[in-house]
């Protein structure tokens, strides 16, 4: 069962699975988020009409 927009913040939690019926360990978005942070970026998640989007936002040069 896929969760709603209210659960987007949980998608980057280690071992969290939005769809409990699918394979996987629940580490993909968590790992992606940590890698982005190590590079001074953020992983941004959004949803519209049941379409989920993941974007990586980097800081402007000189702002870190």
The pLDDT tens digits for 26-53 are 888 999 999 999 999 999 999 888 788 9
Query: Residue 10 has which token pair?
Result: 């949980």
Residue 38 is assigned to a structural domain of this protein: yes
The C-alpha atoms of residue 14 and residue 21 are separated, in whole angstroms, by 17
Q: Give the structural domain span for 50.
A: 5-58
Q: What is the CATH number of the domain that holds 32?
A: 3.30.565.10
Residue 37 to residues 7, 21, 24, 25, 45: CA-CA distances in angstroms?
Answer: 21, 29, 23, 21, 14
In a domain, 41, yes or no: yes
Number of domains in the chain: 1
Q: Let me know if residue 21 belongs to a domain.
A: yes
Per the domain annotation, does 63 fall within a domain? no
Does residue 64 lie within any of the structural domains? no
pLDDT at 5 over 70: no
> Model-level pTM greater than 0.85?
no
């Amino acid at each position: 069962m896929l969760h709603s927009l209210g659960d987007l913040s949980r998608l980057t939690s280690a071992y969290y699975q939005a769809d409990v019926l699918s394979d996987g360990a629940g580490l993909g978005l968590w790992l992606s988020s940590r890698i982005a942070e190590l590079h001074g970026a953020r992983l941004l998640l959004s949803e519209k009409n049941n379409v989920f989007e993941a974007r990586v936002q980097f800081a402007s040069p000189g702002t870190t």
